[in-house]
């Protein structure tokens, strides 16, 4: 009898602790403590007991009844808050407000990182420079169109007798001879990222923009090395499935000169309306012209090198598929644009 009572108690307690639902607890209450519940069923057997037995069992009976009742009450109280409609995990959290970096900063950081990994040294050269560094030292003839008032911004000030007119550099190539003067003896592995200026505004041009210029000079540098470097950049910046190629072109400060293309990721090189026969133009490159090496006091009989200069904004806009379709957005600084990065 005692054993049966205790078993009943344990069974009830086990069931009670395993549930927190009020509905289930209510049904357990009825199941054990109700008029037709297990305890009352049990008590029907009392008439067979002696007086002494009745007293002892009776006491235990009441204890068990109380224990079960208390357990149910306490279980209900402990879990009264966990009903479904008071906690919704899908509500938004409370977000601390942070600011934004400009897309050009992200672009420069990524580009810089790719080159620094293969030993390139990051530098920055003047934006306001002399005609000598921007054109003269780079083998431009006197009457070259880039040097006239139509394409380049000039500063209204007295020119220098040797270095020519003061201007806003239209390309980061002004860093080439400056770097040769700084390092003096190769090896040179320069990555010059700076602002440039040109007299042109439209959907793909702003008067101020950024370029990154690479310059490598050492003994035995060949076209194969230029190819290796552009391939490396293209795969690390755009993705491992992308390829680069060189095509003939012409620049004053390189010989041979190249146009560098990157394979189109939309059509995987098959040709589509966005690309040219499966290729997109990335920018210009070439082997440094011997006259430029000489202008930097480096002997072209001993050293050779290559250079490339590409637009930061343009290159970045090609990568992300960012869908930035107008470069002018980058310099309008509308918060609704800046907040997206």
Partner 1 sequence: METNATPKDIQRCLSLCGPSVERLHKKDGDFIYDIEVTTNRVDCMSVYGIAREAVAILPQFGFQASLKPLITTKLTTGAISGLTIKNDPKLCKRILALKINNINIEPSPKWLFDRLESVGIRPINNLVDITNYVMWEVGHPTHVFDFDRISTGKMIIREAVKNEKIMTLDDKTYVLKGGEVVIDDDHGKIIDLPSIMGTANSVVIPQTISALFFVDSVESPKVRFASMSHSIRTQAAALLEKNVDPELGLTAIFRMAKILKDILPQSKISPLLDIYPHKPEINPITINIAKFNDFIGVNLDPVKIINILKSLNFQVKITKSVLTVTPPSYRAHDIRIPEDLIEEVARVYGYHNIPSVLITGSLPDKPHDQTFSWEEKIKTSLKYLGFTESYTYSMVNDSPDGLKISNPLSSEWTQLRTGLTPSHLKLISENIGKDKQLSFFEIADVYLPQKHGLPIEESRLIVSSNSSDYYKFKGHLETFLSDLRIQNLIPGIKFIEQSFIWEISVNQLITHAKTVKTYTPISKFMPLIEDFNITLSTNYADLEEKIKSFSPLISTIELTDKFNSKLTIRLTFLSSDKQLTKEDIASIRTRIENFH
Closest distance between partner 1 and the C-beta of residue 97, in Å?
5
Contact with partner 1 (CB under 8 A) among 7, 18, 222, 297:
222
CB distance 210 to 311 below 8 Å: yes
Which pair of structure tokens corresponds to residue 146?
Answer: 């880039």
Give 153's contacts (C-beta < 8 A, 6+ positions apart). 167, 168, 170, 197, 198, 199, 207
Instruction: Tell which one of 92, 220, 240, 321 touches partner 1 (CB under 8 A).
Output: 220
Residue with Cβ nearer partner 1 (6 or 105): 105
- Residues numbered 86 to 115 that lie near partner 1 (CB under 8 A) are 97-102, 104-105, 109, 112
Asked whether position 202 contacts partner 1 by CB under 8 A, the answer is: no
Cβ neighbors of 76 (< 8 A, separation 6 or more) are 22, 25
Please list, in sequence order, all residues whose beta carbon lies within 8 angstroms of the beta carbon of residue 259, skipping any fewer than 6 positions away: 246, 247, 248, 249, 281, 283, 284, 285
Residue 222 near residue 304 (C-beta atoms within 8 A): yes
Decide if 191 contacts 123 (C-beta within 8 A). Answer: yes
221 binds partner 1 (CB under 8 A): yes
Nearer to partner 1 (CB atom), residue 86 or residue 119: 119
Tell me if 122 contacts partner 1 by CB under 8 A.
yes
3 state DSSP class of 255: strand
193 closest CA partner among 100, 107, 291, 274: 107
From candidates 50, 157, 161, 241, binder to partner 1 by CB under 8 A? 157
Shortest separation between residue 316's beta carbon and partner 1, angstroms: 13
Q: Which positions from 278 through 317 interact with partner 1, judged by CB under 8 A? A: 287, 289-290, 304
Q: Let me know: does 28 contact 15? Beta carbons within 8 Å.
A: yes
Task: Please report how close the Cβ of residue 318 comes to partner 1 at its closest, in angstroms.
Answer: 19
Q: How far is the CB of 266 from partner 1 (least distance, A)?
A: 19
Torsion, Cα 215 122 341 211, to 10 degrees, reads -30
By CB under 8 A, tell whether 203 contacts partner 1.
Answer: no
274 near partner 1, rule: CB under 8 A? no
Pick from 303, 263, 306: which is nearest to 282 by CA? 263
DSSP string of 44-90, one letter each residue = GGGGGS-HHHHHHHHHHHHHHHHHHHHHHHHHHHHTTT--GGG--TT
In the stretch 16-45, what mask flags binding to partner 1 with x, by CB under 8 A? ------------------------------
**168 binding partner 1? (CB under 8 A):** yes
Cα separation, 84 vs 230, in Å, equals: 59
Pick the piece of the chain touching partner 1 (CB under 8 A) from 21-29, 85-93, 314-322, 332-340: 332-340
Half-sphere exposure in the Cβ direction for 163 (13 Å, CA): 13
Which residue, 79 or 195, is less far from partner 1 as judged by CB? 195
Q: CB of residue 9 vs partner 1: minimum separation in angstroms?
A: 53
Number of residues that bind partner 1 (CB under 8 A): 83
Selected range binding partner 1 among 47-55, 76-84, 182-190, 266-274, rule: CB under 8 A: 182-190
Residue 127 interacting with partner 1 (CB under 8 A): yes
Of the pair 47, 162, the CB lying nearest partner 1 is at 162
Would you count residue 336 as binding partner 1 (CB under 8 A)? Answer: yes
| Of positions 258, 303, 308, 316, contacts partner 1 by CB under 8 A | 258
């Amino acid at each position: 009898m005692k054993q049966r009572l205790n078993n009943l108690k344990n069974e009830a307690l086990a069931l009670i602790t395993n549930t927190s639902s009020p509905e289930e607890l209510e049904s357990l209450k009825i199941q054990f403590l109700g008029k037709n519940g297990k305890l009352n069923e049990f008590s029907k057997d009392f008439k067979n007991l002696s007086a002494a037995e009745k007293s002892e069992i009776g006491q235990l009976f009441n204890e068990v009844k109380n224990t079960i009742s208390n357990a149910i009450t306490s279980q209900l109280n402990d879990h009264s808050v966990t009903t479904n409609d008071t906690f919704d995990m899908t509500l938004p959290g409370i977000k601390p407000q942070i600011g934004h970096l400009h897309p050009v900063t992200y672009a420069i950081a990524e580009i810089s990182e790719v080159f620094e990994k293969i030993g390139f040294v990051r530098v920055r050269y003047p934006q306001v420079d002399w005609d000598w560094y921007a054109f003269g030292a780079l083998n431009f003839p006197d009457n070259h169109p880039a040097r006239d008032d139509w394409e380049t911004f000039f500063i209204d000030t007295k020119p220098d007798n040797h270095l020519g007119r003061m201007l806003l550099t239209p390309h980061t190539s002004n860093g080439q001879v400056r770097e040769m003067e700084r390092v003096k003896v190769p090896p040179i592995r320069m990555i010059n990222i700076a602002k440039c200026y040109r007299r042109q505004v439209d959907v793909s041009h702003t008067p101020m923009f950024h370029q990154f210029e690479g310059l490598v000079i050492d003994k035995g540098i060949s076209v194969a090395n230029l190819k290796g470097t552009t391939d490396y950049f293209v795969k690390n910046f755009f993705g491992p499935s992308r390829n680069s190629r060189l095509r003939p072109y012409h620049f004053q400060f390189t010989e041979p000169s190249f146009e560098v293309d990157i394979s189109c990721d939309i059509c995987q090189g098959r040709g589509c309306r966005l690309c040219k026969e499966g290729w997109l133009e990335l920018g210009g490159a070439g082997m440094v012209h011997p006259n430029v090496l000489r202008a930097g006091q480096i002997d072209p009989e001993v050293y050779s090198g290559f250079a490339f200069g590409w637009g930061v904004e343009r290159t970045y806009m090609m990568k992300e598929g960012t869908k930035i379709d107008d470069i002018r957005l980058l310099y309008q600084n509308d918060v609704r644009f800046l907040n997206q990065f």
